[in-house]
Amino acid sequence: MKAFTLVELLVTVTIIGLLAGLGIPAINQALQAGKKAKEIGALKSLIVAYNTYTADNNGQLLKSYDLNGSAIDINGNPIGGEDSHEAHRWPWRLAPYFNYGFYNTTHVNDIESYIKSQGGLSQTYLVSVIPSFGLSLNCGGNDYEGSKVKTTIATHANQVAKPSQFIAFVSSRSMAVGKRYEGFYYVEQPKSSTKYDHKSNPKSTGYISARYSSQAIVAFLGGNVSVIPYNDLVTNKIYFNVDGQ
């Protein structure tokens, strides 16, 4: 049997390296597409849950942070005490409307993996503060951060002129103690001068995460879900205005 020459081995290794180089980007693109599809599906379920809550409460929109809010954990126990941030944030208060299926609705992909690595749904604080999607400060209001909002806040569904164009949830991100997370419980309209940089401080982009080629996953109060470029979220004021203008 004839042995390979050194030149033949080098050529073979080179070809394998080239094929691998071509394949890795394609694999990464496929993985990203899968993650995006999972988020879109989760957000569709989430906006259904949100609108079901709204219907059950006579049109009242759920706040992203409610000082009077109370919540039950996955074991049926009340969460925290009177000053519990976990119970005041929206994820646990909305949980009964998606049957506590956090991993299919509110915490997906990287955030799902992180929550599981930290002990799972028993970590009520983490579950409350870093869902994959943030609820807009303009939608329902926020007792903790409401003073930041410069435009009108809709507290009732009948205040929104064009629900199909009024943002409820957006893919979000945050940072704490030097660590970045692909999730945060609220978002706000970015300043018009802000350009998107995924390495920037999340606060500078209103905690919005345009993690898919500078595009964010968005759910509107009307129930529709879209993938929208970050620049459109900055320039198109209609998305955050209750009067639809």
In a domain, 25, yes or no: yes
Position 193 in a domain? yes
Is 1 a domain residue? no
Element (H, E) at 181: strand 179-181
CA–CA distance, 7 with 4 (Å, rounded to integer): 8
Whether 194 is covered by a domain: the verdict is yes
Beta bridge partners of 72: 78
User: Scanning the structure block, which residue is given the tokens 């943002």?
Assistant: 167
- Answer yes or no: are the C-beta atoms of 79 and 87 closer than 8 Å: yes
Helix residue ranges, H only, the chain = 6-56, 85-88, 90-94, 102-105, 109-117, 124-129, 230-235
* Alpha helices by DSSP H, 57-108: 85-88, 90-94, 102-105
How far out from the chain centre does Cα 78 lie? 25
Look at residue 186 in the predicted model and tell me its pLDDT: 95
Can you give the pLDDT of all 245 residues of the chain as single tens digits?
555 576 666 766 777 766 666 655 666 777 788 999 999 999 999 999 999 999 999 999 999 999 888 999 999 999 976 558 899 999 999 999 999 999 989 999 999 999 999 999 999 999 999 999 999 999 998 887 656 665 678 999 999 999 999 999 999 999 987 899 999 999 998 887 778 888 889 999 999 999 999 999 999 999 999 999 999 998 887 788 877 66
* Closest residue by Cα to residue 88 from 31, 33, 128, 28: 128
Domain count within the chain: 1
What six digits make up the tokens of 206?
């209103």
Q: Are 59 and 153 in contact (CB under 8 A)?
A: no
In a domain, 245, yes or no: no
- Read off the pTM: 0.87
At 204-226, the pLDDT tens digits run 999 999 999 999 999 999 999 99
Q: Is residue 222 part of a domain?
A: yes
**Per-residue confidence (pLDDT) for residue 151, from 0 to 100:** 62
Sign of the Cα torsion 32, 38, 44, 50 reads negative
Give the whole-angstrom CA distance, residue 90 versus residue 184: 11
Q: Is 123 left (phi over 0), alpha (psi -120 to 50) or beta?
A: beta
The pLDDT score that the predictor gives to residue 241 is: 83
- The reply to whether 99 falls in a domain is yes
Domain that holds residue 81: 6-240
Residue 186 DSSP symbol = E
In a domain, 158, yes or no: yes
DSSP state of 237: G
Buried b (16+ CB within 10 A) or exposed e, 72-82: ebeeeeebbee
Half-sphere exposure at residue 228, Cβ-oriented, CA atoms within 13 angstroms: 21
User: Is beta strand 186-187 parallel, antiparallel or unpaired with respect to 179-181?
Assistant: unpaired
